[in-house]
Chain A
Amino acid sequence: MSIEEWIIAFLPGAMRAATPLIFAALGVLLAERSGVLMIGVEGAMLLGALFSIVVALLTGDAWLGFLFAGLVGAAAGLFLGGLTVRLPTDQVVVGIAFNLVVLGLTSFVFRLLGPVGVYRIAPPIPMLELSIMGAVFAAPPLTGMALSLTLITWVLLFRTGPGLKLRSMGERAHAAHAAGIDVVRSRIVVLVLAGVLCAFGGAALTVGWVRVFTENITLGRGFIALAAVYFGRWHPGWALAGCLLFGMGDALALRLQAAGGGGTPFYLMTIPYLLTLVVVGITGKAVGPQDAGKPYGRG
């Protein structure tokens, strides 16, 4: 493809595909930095994807739908936090069971709400008109939001006191406790935030991009976000790079599919996961949060 085609068609496509991943990856990153594995990201995204579109269609306002997704995500985060942090229970099993439950729940609710008009196309989120050096660009606001949130997450994690506390919980929960941090409460707060971000990711997929909901619309994108975080070794910048890379793969696969030509896009879709395995293999242990995945019990 020519340079112009690349800039006009491919890059925006890649950014659009990456945006849901960035939101979700930030959620995963925060949760895992605080020491809780966020396998439930897929379910949280799916919840956001459904409820954003429902509210957008019922109110006619896409932004309202997007915000409502955040509310549902907060509830999901609280639920996951209650189970995996407060009780505590096995984070992996809860995550997987949560994903199954949400897959059933969203498909069920979608069918129930069908007659109310949820099968239609949602109103779009209007583009932002940016003028940079005289030229006017139309920028998708959600992509801008995702990029700014990445920066905010980085500053929060590595340049502020609460960020330091958050990371310390993920590395040595008991030491953090000894230092006066209420690990249980803080982790639940972080999980609520993570839930909001993951649900925003789902909403960015539906109201922000395809504007319809279908059963299991996220199709493993939560796991791609998970891959991006592992690929990026739990650093917001590198996780963002992972999301962009995987977004490009997604856009390329879509182009291949549209072009016909007999090639299948599916081999391409194994690349994010294989790349992540390679990165995990090269960097090995001790880079990820030490206490991620371990239940923290007091006493």
Chain B
Amino acid sequence: MRHRVFQRILQAGTVHRTFALTLALLAVTFAALAVAALLVGSAPLDVIRSLLEGALQGRFRMISTLIQTSAVVMTGLAVLLPYQVGFFNVGGQGQLEVGALAGVAITLAASGPALLVIPLSFTLAALAGVVAVAVPLLLRIKRSSSEVTTTIMMNAACIYLVLGIITGPLKDPAAFYGTTHPVPNAYQLPVVPGAVGLHIGVWLVLAITIGLHLVMTRTVFGVKLRAVGGNRPAAIAAGIPADRILAIAVITGGALAGLAGGMQALGVVHRVAEGWAKPWGFAGISAALLGGSPLGVVPVAFVFAILETGARHMQAMTGVPVAVVYLLQGLPVLTFLGLRATRYFTR
């Protein structure tokens, strides 16, 4: 009986699949959380309730959960799009961090109207992400090097480079740890007037997600993308410039991850400091895999964001440590992969 249900979940169409998967994901997550609660000696229902309260109760918490969602959606798209053409971008975290730094650096150096500086900052953040992904992309196209290896190496290199810069040339001398100066008030992302209090970045993410959905389902480029990812030799035989399609997808991915960093820095944290970045890049990999399409990434990212923002409240109320969140972000992925590989799933 049980595997029948899973079979149905895994074979359903995209919309159904996304919805059913989110439910399955929630079930696994909360089951694991309940076990963790019992181990700590708290009542599982209290723990789950405090997590949800911490993430969803009240306007302020709801807003921070939605902002977290937008970050994971972006890093998820940064993985999803290149993945369609067979490029596994594991480097989202590094791209995000250099993007954030580039975005913040320009707001510290520039003066002028926010209407100019914020788009400039976003552009630079995206560009930094592109630079970070360009090395693995070039090595893949020119030298056939596995992008998994090279994006992992770039991840670490980027993270240490950012650490070096914020403890070195861009360090705020007044702070006793490595951090940049705060982003000037004028350049912090403004809230869209009359629209629930979400800063413009979140709306931009929404637009990007819908845009990508349309590009992938309704355009010739989307078809080419799937052709190259599905059967590269056949795509080349059909006259599709495979390397160019690959490059476009990967560069867009890097730009999205970089932009995600810029938005988090300008919209929420207002600086780049030691340990400021949550592992959004890695959560994005899970979200892309579980979501499977631009729209599918959104609900998964929302679940991850609930875990992220609710965790502090949960720890304060029940003593279940925040760190358990990482467990809850990884476990559904392993479960999903395991299920998908069993014979109940027809590929």
Chain A interface residues (CB < 8 Å from chain B): 37, 39, 83, 87-90, 92-94, 96-105, 107-108, 111-112, 215, 220, 223-224, 226-227, 230, 264, 266-267, 269-270, 272-274, 276-277, 280-281, 284-286, 288, 293
Chain A proximity of B157: nearest CB distance (Å): 4
Query: How many chain B residues touch A (Cβ–Cβ < 8 Å)?
Result: 49
Interface residues of B in 75-92 (CB under 8 A from A): 88, 90
Tell me the complex Cα distance, A37–B148, Å. 10
Contacts of B330 in A (CB 8 A): 97-104
| Residue B282 lies at the interface, judged by CB distance under 8 Å to chain A | yes
Contacts of B168 in A (CB 8 A): 264, 266-267
A94 and B143 in contact, given A108-B36, A270-B157, A273-B154 (Cβ under 8 angstroms): no
* Selected contact of A101 from candidates B145, B154, B334, CB within 8 Å: B334
* Selected contact of A112 from candidates B40, B289, B341, CB within 8 Å: B40
Interface residues of B in 114-153 (CB under 8 A from A): 135, 139, 143-146, 148-150, 152-153
Closest residue of chain B to A292, judged by CB?
A: B146
Closest residue of chain A to B39, judged by CB?
A: A112
| Residue B251 lies at the interface, judged by CB distance under 8 Å to chain A | no
- A-B contacts at CB below 8 angstroms, number: 151
* Selected contact of B153 from candidates A87, A273, A284, CB within 8 Å: A273
Q: Is the CB of A104 within 8 A of B325?
A: yes
Contacts of B282 in A (CB 8 A): 96, 99-100
Contacts of A276 in B (CB 8 A): 153
Q: Is the CB of B160 within 8 A of A266?
A: yes
Chain B proximity of A288: nearest CB distance (Å): 7
Tell me the complex Cα distance, A272–B337, Å. 32
Q: Is the CB of B331 within 8 A of A101?
A: yes
Contacts of B211 in A (CB 8 A): none
- Which of B39, B40, B148, B342 has the most A CB atoms < 10 Å from its CB? B148
* Selected contact of A277 from candidates B88, B90, B157, B334, CB within 8 Å: B157
* Selected contact of A108 from candidates B90, B144, B327, B341, CB within 8 Å: B327
| Residue B43 lies at the interface, judged by CB distance under 8 Å to chain A | no
Classify the interface of chain A: helix, strand, loop or mixed: helix
A83 and B279 in contact, given A37-B148, A96-B90, A264-B164 (Cβ under 8 angstroms): no
* Selected contact of B152 from candidates A87, A93, A215, A223, CB within 8 Å: A223
The 6 closest A-B pairs by CB, nearest first: A104-B327, A107-B323, A100-B330, A104-B326, A266-B164, A101-B330
Q: Is the CB of A108 within 8 A of B334?
A: no
Contacts of A226 in B (CB 8 A): 149, 152
Q: Is the CB of A270 within 8 A of B323?
A: no
Classify the interface of chain B: helix, strand, loop or mixed: helix
Chain B proximity of A43: nearest CB distance (Å): 9
Tell me the complex Cα distance, A276–B143, Å. 14
A288 and B146 in contact, given A90-B337, A97-B337, A108-B324 (Cβ under 8 angstroms): yes
| Residue B285 lies at the interface, judged by CB distance under 8 Å to chain A | yes
Contacts of B337 in A (CB 8 A): 83, 87, 89-90, 93-94, 97
| Residue B167 lies at the interface, judged by CB distance under 8 Å to chain A | yes
Contacts of A37 in B (CB 8 A): 148
Contacts of A267 in B (CB 8 A): 160-161, 164, 168
Q: Is the CB of A89 within 8 A of B341?
A: yes
Contacts of B164 in A (CB 8 A): 264, 266-267, 269-270
| Residue B333 lies at the interface, judged by CB distance under 8 Å to chain A | yes
Tell me the complex Cα distance, A93–B288, Å. 11
Chain A proximity of B14: nearest CB distance (Å): 20
Tell me the complex Cα distance, A207–B135, Å. 38
| Residue B239 lies at the interface, judged by CB distance under 8 Å to chain A | no
Q: Is the CB of B285 within 8 A of A93?
A: yes
Q: Is the CB of A273 within 8 A of B156?
A: yes
Tell me the complex Cα distance, A267–B167, Å. 10
Chain A proximity of B126: nearest CB distance (Å): 22
Contacts of B289 in A (CB 8 A): 93
Contacts of A103 in B (CB 8 A): 323, 326-327, 330
Contacts of B160 in A (CB 8 A): 266-267, 269-270, 273
Chain A proximity of B283: nearest CB distance (Å): 8
Q: Is the CB of B145 within 8 A of A281?
A: yes
Tell me the complex Cα distance, A87–B154, Å. 30
Chain B proximity of A180: nearest CB distance (Å): 26
